[in-house]
Amino acid sequence: MQTTFSETQLKNKDNNSSEKIIRKCVHCGMCNATCPTYKIIGDELDGPRGRIYLIKDMLENNKPASKKIAKHIDRCLSCYACMTTCPSGVNYMHLIDHGRNHVEATYKRPLLERIFRSILSFVLPNAFIFRIVAHLTKPIKLISFLLPSFLKNSLKFMPLNLPGKKLAEQKNYPSKLKKTVARVALLTGCVQRVISPQINEATIRLLNRNGVEVVVIPEIECCGSLNHHLGKKDLAHKSFVKNIDAWHKEYLENGLDAIISNTSGCGTTLKDYEFIFRNDKEMKKKAKKISELTKDITEYLSENIKLEFKKDDKSKYKIAYHSPCSMQHGQKVHHQPIHLIKKTGHTVLDIPDGHICCGSAGTYNILQQKIAKTLLNEKVENIKKISPDFISTGNIGCMTQISSGTSIPIVHTVEIIDWFTGGPKPQNLKNI
């Protein structure tokens, strides 16, 4: 795609990066074929190619974002299916991030929208605040039928009861073997540690049983992706810097073989720290090391641990694997979890149109409820077609979204692997 940035504009390092991305686009439109929002809405501006034009126009002409531009940029799920499809290697992820930052900096949203986005930005990345809000919303949910549909639909993602923790919170979880084979840091997450602590518990148990020491740095909560995708650049960067400094200090002082993510959206952002700080001389080297160390839990297990699976001859389960967009498109981690589940001896079923997003996408299912609901319904219908006993996935957002539309049990992939290598049966599967 031809660009007309001036030399002065290209001195801006973000413009310079985006100009190179835009020039790779050859207008072929193959991205639209796998774009969920284009598939639903059918508007060129609601596909990757159209959004590239909008971002190009804003940046080249130093234009502030308009209401129309903000609408189409906001509708992007950041599922990155277009990046898997694109034959020209257009890094849409980096371009849409720049576009969001420009929209947030130049467009004044309506007051209620600004307030609501700020609430999400403040509450979700902070586990302590989120826990308080979750308790406060319990009585409100009882009268949610009186609320406007937008608020009522938002509240349904808040759990009625928060699960208790089975593992004590501590910094180090030592290997259960005499010989420690590796030492890793675990990102326990913000929302996940509150509503689904069993995911972190299964991860720690599994790694400890196989000789891996796990360290949890209490100062680290959110990876920064929630604010990053809301276009709140400064808040996101505070999280990024805090995390990078803490992990890098641990790496230098005590050694780390990997940083484990069991939430694929977080893992995608961690792996992108190197690019985010490409122009920061002070942070660049540290950010690069953190990105290099980051592994999805299934990626790490596949590459580093020889697991011993116990066979259950009494039960043969049919397991539908939902591949989160941030894993299959963002991190290119797709086959590893499937292979691990197959090693349990059970059947792994492919979900039809499995490359299409479930509609979760961070805060998307709250901010873009109509599109998210359509995607959820399509995902659930495709799951029903294959009649699984339960569903496995690698992202808390997908788990929350899909479980809101079906009674078929859903668990994190690491819970399954933990179960079939000596851990307890996941609570969500007690009745199957």
The two beta strands, 172-173 and 212-215, are antiparallel
- CATH number for 65: 1.10.1060.10
What is the domain extent for residue 282? 172-303
Same domain, 79 and 183: no
Percent of the chain with pLDDT over 70: 100
Which stretch of 134-148, 392-406, 411-425 has the lowest confidence by average pLDDT? 134-148
In 255-368, where does DSSP find H-type helix?
264-271, 273-276, 281-293, 297-304, 325, 335-342, 364-367
- Is residue 161 situated within a structural domain? no
Looking at the fold, whether 17 and 89 belong to one and the same domain comes out as: yes
Q: Per-residue pLDDT tens for 351-363?
A: 999 999 999 999 9
Answer yes or no: do 141 and 218 share one domain: no
Residue 171 confidence (pLDDT) above 70: yes
pLDDT of residue 161: 81
Residue-wise DSSP of 41-104? H--GGGSHHHHHHHHHHHHHTTPPP-HHHHHHHHT-----HHHHH-TT---HHHHHHHHHHHHH
Report how far Cα 263 is from the mean position of its chain's Cα atoms: 6
Tens of pLDDT, residues 59-92: 999 999 999 999 999 999 999 999 999 999 999 9
Q: Which of 3-12, 94-103, 122-131, 160-169 has the lowest mean pLDDT?
A: 160-169
Q: Are 405 and 422 part of one and the same domain? A: yes
CATH label of the domain that carries residue 230: 1.20.1050
CA–CA distance, 228 with 248 (Å, rounded to integer): 21
> Is residue 314 scored above 80 in pLDDT?
no
What local confidence, expressed as pLDDT, does residue 138 receive?
85
- Residue-level pLDDT at 310: 87
Tell whether 421 is covered by a domain: yes
Q: Tell me the pLDDT band of 313, cut-offs 50, 70 and 90.
A: low
Longest dimension (CA), the chain: 70
**Residue 163 forms part of a structural domain:** no
Per-residue pLDDT tens digits for 222-253: 999 999 999 999 999 999 999 999 999 999 99
Q: Which of 8-17, 110-119, 138-147, 191-200 has the lowest mean pLDDT?
A: 138-147
What is the tally of structural domains in the chain? 4
Extract the runs of DSSP E, i.e. beta strands, from 115-177.
172-173
Domain boundary among 279, 303, 327: 303
Does 422 lie in the same domain as 323? yes
Residue 105's CB is within 10 A of a number of other CB atoms, namely: 11
Give mean pLDDT, residues 406-415.
Answer: 97
The Cα-based distances of 318 to 104, 232, 386, 405 in angstroms read 45, 42, 9, 19
* Predicted structure pTM score: 0.93
Angle at 239 between CA 274 and CA 337, to 5 degrees: 60
Q: Quick check: is 288 in a domain?
A: yes
62 backbone φψ class: left, alpha, beta (φ>0; ψ -120 to 50): left
CATH number for the domain spanning 420: value is: 3.40.50.1860
The predicted structure's pLDDT at residue 332? 96
pLDDT bin (cut points 50, 70, 90) of residue 153 is confident
Query: Would you state the pLDDT for residue 155?
Result: 85
Residue 368: strand pairing partners: none
Once rounded to an integer, what is the mean pLDDT over residues 132-137?
90
Helix 13-24 and helix 48-60, axial crossing angle in degrees, nearest 10:
140
